[in-house]
Amino acid sequence: MSTSDFEKELNLLSPLIQKRYLAQPEDSKHKAAKPTHIASMIDHTLLKPNVLTEDVISLCKEAREHRLFSVCIPPSHIPIAKKELRESDVKICTVVGFPLGTQTSASKTFEARNAIEIGADEIDMVLNVSALKSKKYDLVFKEIETIKQVCSGKTLKVILETSYLTKEEIILSCIIVRAAGADFVKTSTGFAPTGATKEDIELMRKVVGKNFGVKASGGIRTKEDAEIMITAGASRLGCSASLQIIGASKQTNSEQGNY
């Protein structure tokens, strides 16, 4: 990404978004984390539509035993996870506006607030790709900003769904997300044609800087996949094949899908 390319995309945004983005401290070149503690970077993910209560219980047990960072589950299963993880350091992550991101801002805001109230520690919200591609940048910005406000200090990750975005749109999205006050940019829902790529992670890291979160998700199935993403700049991984990645077991029944 050249300086001229970046400035061209930045100038498409409103003065407020530009000001918010540029007001944040400039970072030196990102230094990739050494992939030695992969387990502590994993959001152990189970977002299938047919997930059962016993699946969530198993997911939580696996996360506790292997010291994974969090479990990422549908909102309706938060109470189960909260009970299973009550004496654990494992965080509870859930999704908002999932998987398309086309819900109204009011709907997403309610989802986020409710999820926090019932026990979520982190929110992964889906960016409104339709609005972004329609160049409604202020709408995208305001939605993220509002949801961050209702998160009450909890971590907010914004899923860009990079599979549907051009390089220029990824740059714009990253600028908007950071300017709006979120904590992470994330590649994918796992429901799009493709997931995380090394090239997208490198680009996202370059735009947001070294002190902002970048989550790679979608298609990470092996330890090698995980190491590639971490070296490219990912600070968190969304995986359903978590145990396979850390060498704890072969793929289990819960480790399915595109995550």
Is position 26 within any domain? Answer: no
Is position 31 within any domain? Answer: no
- Residues 6 or more apart in contact with residue 227 via CB below 8 angstroms: 35, 38
Is position 25 within any domain? Answer: no
- φ and ψ at 72, to 5 degrees? -115, 115
Q: How many domains does the chain divide into? A: 1
User: What integer pLDDT is reported at residue 114 of this predicted model?
Assistant: 99
Tens digit of each residue's pLDDT (9 = 90 or more) over 136-157: 999 999 999 999 999 989 999 9
| % of the chain with per-residue pLDDT over 90 | 85
Is position 63 within any domain? Answer: yes
Residues 36 and 104: their CA atoms lie apart, in Å, by: 41
pLDDT tens string for the chain (259 positions)?
Answer: 677 778 888 899 999 999 999 987 765 444 555 555 899 999 999 999 999 999 999 999 999 999 999 999 999 999 999 999 999 999 999 999 999 999 999 999 999 999 999 999 999 999 999 999 999 999 999 999 999 999 989 999 999 999 999 999 999 999 999 999 999 999 999 999 999 999 999 999 999 999 999 999 999 999 999 999 999 999 999 999 999 999 987 554 444 456 7
Q: What is the DSSP letter of 38?
A: G
**Sequence letter at residue 179:** A
User: What integer pLDDT is reported at residue 10 of this predicted model?
Assistant: 87
Tens digit of each residue's pLDDT (9 = 90 or more) over 36-65: 589 999 999 999 999 999 999 999 999 999
- φ and ψ at 82, to 5 degrees? -60, -40
Is position 241 within any domain? Answer: yes
Burial 43-62 (b: 16+ CB within 10 A, else e): bbbbbeeebeeebbebbbeb
Beta bridge partners of 71: 44, 92
Is position 112 within any domain? Answer: yes
Is position 231 within any domain? Answer: yes
**Sequence letter at residue 8:** K
Catalytic residue ranges: 124, 186, 215
Residues 217 and 195: their CA atoms lie apart, in Å, by: 6
Q: What residues make up the domain containing 227?
A: 3-9+36-246
User: What integer pLDDT is reported at residue 255 of this predicted model?
Assistant: 47
Is position 18 within any domain? Answer: no
56: domain CATH number is: 3.20.20.70
Given phi > 0 = left and psi -120 to 50 = alpha, else beta, which region is 44? beta
CB 191 within 8 A of CB 258: yes
| The two three-digit tokens of residue 71, written as one number | 């479990």
| pTM higher than the cut 0.85 | yes
